[in-house]
Structure 1
Amino acid sequence: MKEKITAQSIRLFEKKGFSETSIQDIVDTLGVTKGTFYYYFSSKEELLMDIHLGYIEDLLNRQEKIIHDNSKTYKEKLFEVVYMLISDIETRGLAAKIFFREMKNISEDRRAIIIPKRNEFRLNIEELIKAGMEAGEFRPNLNASILSFGILGVTNWSYHWFNPEGNCSDREVAEIFVEMILKGIQIN
Structure 2
Amino acid sequence: MTKRRIIVGISGATGIQYGIKALELLQELDIETHLIISKAAEMVRTYETGYKHEHVVSLAHRVYALSDVGAAISSGSFKTMGMLIAPCSVKTLSEIATGVTSSLLSRAADVTLKERRRLVLLFRETPLHAGHIKTMLQVTEMGGVVMPPVPAFYMQPQTIDEMITHTVARALDLFGFDIDIPRWEK
| TM-score bracket for the superposition, by shorter chain length | under 0.3
* Structure number, greater radius of gyration: 1
TM-score, normalization by structure 1: 0.25
TM-score, normalization by structure 2: 0.25
Which has a greater percent of strand?
A: 2
Which has a greater percent of helix?
A: 1
Bigger RCO of structures 1 and 2 (CA < 8 A, at least 6 apart): 1
